[in-house]
Amino acid sequence: MTDNSDGSDPADEEFPIGDGTASTEAEVTCPYCGEITEIALDPGSGNEQEYVEDCPVCCRPWQVMVNYRGDGSASVELTALDEESDE
Ligand SMILES: [Zn+2]
């Protein structure tokens, strides 16, 4: 265990996107309460992801859409799930 000091390990396949520079977190603004918060991303789940996550501040549900670009940076969009039911 003395070599491998130059970091060029050919078996480094942990990130499917780019070369290990994929974003693992993103700063988002809650569409309900307006709080800026950081959410964790999972680059291993694919280039395009869509899931529901609750705001850690006001606990209301977001529809989260994540798109990874070619350079591994993530574009994150939040939609308020409640908006569809306008009474
Ligand atoms: Zn909120």
- What confidence tens digit (pLDDT) does each residue in 24-53 have? 999 999 999 999 999 999 999 999 999 999
Question: CA dist 71 to 15, 37, 63, 64, 74, Å?
Answer: 12, 23, 24, 20, 9
Asked if 30 and 17 touch (Cβ cutoff 8 Å), the reply is: no
**Ligand 1 center to residue 72 CA distance, Å?**
27
> How many structural domains is the chain composed of?
1
Question: Is residue 17 in a domain?
Answer: no
Question: Is residue 3 in a domain?
Answer: no
pLDDT of residue 51: 97
**Ligand 1 center to residue 60 CA distance, Å?**
6
Question: Is residue 31 in a domain?
Answer: yes
pLDDT-based confidence at 86, cuts 50/70/90?
low
Question: Is residue 19 in a domain?
Answer: no
Question: Is residue 63 in a domain?
Answer: yes
Task: Give me the domain span that covers residue 34.
Answer: 25-84
Q: How far apart are CA 12 and CA 76, in angstroms?
A: 26
Neighbours of ion ligand 1 (CB under 5 A): 30, 32-33, 55, 57-58
**Ligand 1 center to residue 43 CA distance, Å?**
24
**Ligand 1 center to residue 62 CA distance, Å?**
9
Question: Is residue 36 in a domain?
Answer: yes
34-40 long-range Cβ contacts below 8 angstroms, 24+ apart = 39/64, 39/76
What pTM does this model have?
0.70
pLDDT of residue 82: 79
Question: Is residue 50 in a domain?
Answer: yes
